[in-house]
Amino acid sequence: MSSDKTPIIKMQNIEKHFGSVIALAGVSVDVFPGECHCLLGDNGAGKSTFIKTMSGVHKPTHGEILFEGKEMHFADPRDAISAGIATVHQHLAMIPLMSVSRNFFMGNEPVKSVGPLKLFDHDHANTVTMDEMRKMGINLRGPDQAVGTLSGGERQTVAIARAVYFGAKVLILDEPTSALGVRQTANVLATIDKVRKQGIAVVFITHNVRHAMAVGDRFTVLNRGKTLGTAQRGEITPEELQDLMAGGQELVQLEGSLGGTV
Amino acid sequence: MSEAAQSTPVADERIKEISALRKALIRPELGGIVGTIAVFTFFLLFAFDSGMFSAQGAMNWSVVSAQFMIIAVGACLLMIAGEFDLSVGSMIGFAGMMIAIFAVTLGWPVWMAIIVTFVLCTAIGAVNGFIVIRTGLPSFIVTLAFLFILRGFTIFLPQVIERKTIIGGIKDVAEGDWLAPIFGGKILGGLFQWMGDAGLIATFTRGSRQGQPVVDGIPMLIIWAIVLIIFGHILLTKTKFGNWIFAAGGDAEAARNSGVPVNKVKVLMFMFTAFCATVFAVCQVMEFGSAGADRGLLKEFEAIIAVVIGGALLTGGYGSVLGAALGALIFGVVQQGLFFAGVESSLFRVFLGIILLGAVILNTYIRRIITGER
């Protein structure tokens, strides 16, 4: 990323303690608009705590969050959402029994006035849903098709399209590909690429190095609550990332390739 | 990915176009529609001469069906929102008893007794909801507790106050009241008188009511049922709030993540269910002129059965008010129809059990179609 751009979100020295457990011990990450920033780490590395801090679920014990250059204190996830930070969870995003269109507008229903009544504008919702899905490359049978009939990858794509449509500036994807097959993973990665090209900052959490390498612009590895630095695309090989995630046994050798960012 | 590939996604060749029949199958009302046609066909064939389809007979099963409909609308919306209310029957008894105590024992004006009872009962509904929300306990258990608590009070209070379990005399105190006729009155009396005079419907041939039609108007109970069904249907399918009801019952956590006020939706639905039970109670008290401690027994299960026949899933997130209304209609027609057909009334319960089982199995199958599971 060129230095003339300012990061849309900058997390500085974030520490998070849960009682006597130190989940995050000073993590700094910045994300630029239009980039896909991959956050890698093994289980228990602190990825979830970190993104929950970013999305307003947790308050950091120490450290500061700068959003669009200003210091932010999110009281709860609603604050973060209205500021433009959207999180797409691996599960818990879609309701299988409801139609795609009802899911798409869940919590943001368009309303039209009919006499004294304010009714759910189904026509508008259906048109927008079909349009947005087509843009993302999903061919729906109709807007009333239940989300339950979609594949896991398509559900992720609907959730991403929804977040983008409702004005997300930062999109946090929590392991969107971990439960998917090869073809579906490719679709989700293609979706991430499209979203990035619209100028949205994507934070892509994964522990799969190959998925990260496929779309990532920069890579940050978390290990035991600390970051070992951020690497640019092309500066690091998948093997090196893998080793970092595993605990950084070959750290000395890697310091050079991380470009002094450690 | 190229621009062309983005704009024209290829249809997945493995997804077959679904047939119109399958499309119709996933409408929640389907079971109710088929059941209604089956039930009417059956009774038209086997009980046509029994008087079931005369004006008087039709009014008989219409009133019974309307009673079921009133509580089914509330139970339906609550079930779609993912919760149960087993205290509906006890609430009916309790609400009726409170009106009788307020209006007869305490001598309050009837309109005031009715309004205070509505406020009290919807507040109890809210308490039900708050306990469910705060504790995270299954609503099945919480409302089971209220089933006993409310029934207990309904038996205890009149015994302490009046030394009996039935309080009568409500017709006398309701005379001239402005609110009572909205629950206990009848409308379109003139139309029925005209139909009687014109010979379209039967009239009394002797006694003090000679010349009057056997059906002298549409009871407000039926009007309440229709109004509640229309209200419930529009709320559920045509409003933003309706989307929240589906979402709250479909997956509360996912709904919360999307900013749906799930707790508020659930508490309001508990209140609405209590409201419907109170409407039932007031209509019944005004019709009978008395309140009894045993009123509304087992009504909670009858409401739930009507809702399930109407296509709602017990697990929430799916269902239809129109379906629930048809379920209530089937319920009422069969219950009264067996009586007209001269069938032993205990067989009604056998029928009920069978139809309930059939409906639940059908619903499970339909759910698999919707979610694409095999």
Banded model confidence at residue B3, pLDDT cuts 50, 70, 90 = very low
Nearest to A102 among B7, B246, B253 (CB): B246
What are B290-308's pLDDT values in tens digits? 988 889 888 999 999 999 9
The residue of A51, A55, A98 whose CB has the most chain B CBs within 10 angstroms, and thus the best one to mutate to test that interface, is A98
E strand residue ranges, chain B: 166-167, 186-187, 218-219, 291-292
Q: Sort out which chain B residues have CB atoms less than 8 A from A135's CB and list them.
A: 6-7
In chain A the first and final C-alpha atoms are separated, in Å, by: 17
Q: Sort out which chain B residues have CB atoms less than 8 A from A145's CB and list them.
A: none
Q: How many C-beta neighbours within 10 Å does residue B138 have? A: 12
Q: Sort out which chain B residues have CB atoms less than 8 A from A77's CB and list them.
A: 257
Asked if residue B77 has pLDDT above 90, the reply is yes
Q: Which residue has the tokens 């038996």?
A: B155
- In Å, how far is A253's CA from the nearest CA of chain B? 36
Q: Sort out which chain A residues have CB atoms less than 8 A from B235's CB and list them.
A: none
Q: Sort out which chain A residues have CB atoms less than 8 A from B254's CB and list them.
A: 92-95
Nearest to B372 among A117, A135, A148 (CB): A148
For B315, which residue in chain A has the nearest alpha carbon?
A97
Q: Sort out which chain A residues have CB atoms less than 8 A from B234's CB and list them.
A: 117, 119
When pLDDT is averaged across residues B191-210 and rounded to a whole number, the result is 74
- In Å, how far is B359's CA from the nearest CA of chain A? 18
Nearest to A120 among B1, B17, B238 (CB): B238
What are A4-40's pLDDT values in tens digits? 578 888 888 888 888 888 888 888 888 999 899 998 8
* Residues 260-319 (B) with a CB less than 8 A from some CB of A: 260, 313, 317-318
Per-position DSSP letters for chain A, written without gaps between them: --TTSPPSEEEEEEEEEETTEEEEEEEEEEE-TT-EEEEEE-TTSSHHHHHHHHTTSS--SEEEEEETTEE---SSHHHHHHHTEEEE-SSSS--TTSBHHHHHTTTS--EEEETTEEEE-HHHHHHHHHHHHHHTT---S-TTSBGGGS-HHHHHHHHHHHHHHTT-SEEEEESTTTT--HHHHHHHHHHHHHHHHTT-EEEEEES-HHHHHHH-SEEEEEETTEEEEEEETTSS-HHHHHHHHHT-TTHHHHHHHTTT--
The answer to whether the beta carbons of residues B302 and B76 sit under 8 Å apart is no
Asked if residue B6 has pLDDT above 50, the reply is no
What are B242-277's pLDDT values in tens digits? 999 999 999 988 888 788 899 999 999 999 999 999
Supply the ipTM of this predicted assembly: 0.80
Q: How many C-beta neighbours within 10 Å does residue B159 have? A: 11
Q: Is B344 on the interface with A (CB under 8 A)?
A: no
Sequence length of chain A is: 262
Q: Which residue has the tokens 């029925």?
A: B192
The answer to whether the beta carbons of residues B296 and B282 sit under 8 Å apart is no
Phi and psi of A54, rounded to 5°? Answer: -65, -35
Q: Which 8-state DSSP code applies to residue B239? A: S
Q: Is A179 on the interface with B (CB under 8 A)?
A: no
pLDDT at B81: 96
pLDDT at A92: 61
* Residues 229-258 (B) with a CB less than 8 A from some CB of A: 234, 238-240, 242-244, 246-247, 250-251, 253-255, 257-258
When pLDDT is averaged across residues B157-175 and rounded to a whole number, the result is 87
Check residue A36 and give left, alpha or beta (phi > 0: left; psi -120 to 50: alpha): beta
pLDDT at A182: 83
* Residues 21-60 (B) with a CB less than 8 A from some CB of A: 26
CA-angle at B10, arms to B9 and B12, nearest 5°: 125
| Orientation of helix B347-371 relative to helix B299-309, angle to 10° | 50
Asked if residue B87 has pLDDT above 80, the reply is yes
CB contact (8 A) between residue B18 and residue A146:
no
Closest CA to A76 of A47, A52, A106, A51: A52
* pTM exceeds 0.90, yes or no: no
**Angstrom distance (rounded) from CA B337 to CA B51:** 10
Q: Sort out which chain A residues have CB atoms less than 8 A from B367's CB and list them.
A: 97
Nearest to B6 among A94, A135, A141 (CB): A135
What are B12-61's pLDDT values in tens digits? 544 555 566 666 666 778 878 888 998 899 888 887 888 788 888 888 89
pLDDT at A257: 58
Mean pLDDT over each residue of chain B, to the nearest integer = 86
Closest CA to B297 of B96, B57, B74: B96
pLDDT at B2: 40
Q: What percent of chain B has pLDDT over 90?
A: 46
Q: Is B1 on the interface with A (CB under 8 A)?
A: yes
Q: Is A148 on the interface with B (CB under 8 A)?
A: yes
Chains A, B: CB contacts under 8 A, how many?
101
Q: Is B14 on the interface with A (CB under 8 A)?
A: no
CB contact (8 A) between residue A98 and residue B246:
yes
Low-confidence ranges of chain A (pLDDT < 70): 1-4, 90-92, 247-262
**Angstrom distance (rounded) from CA A145 to CA B26:** 10
Cα radius of gyration (chain A): 19
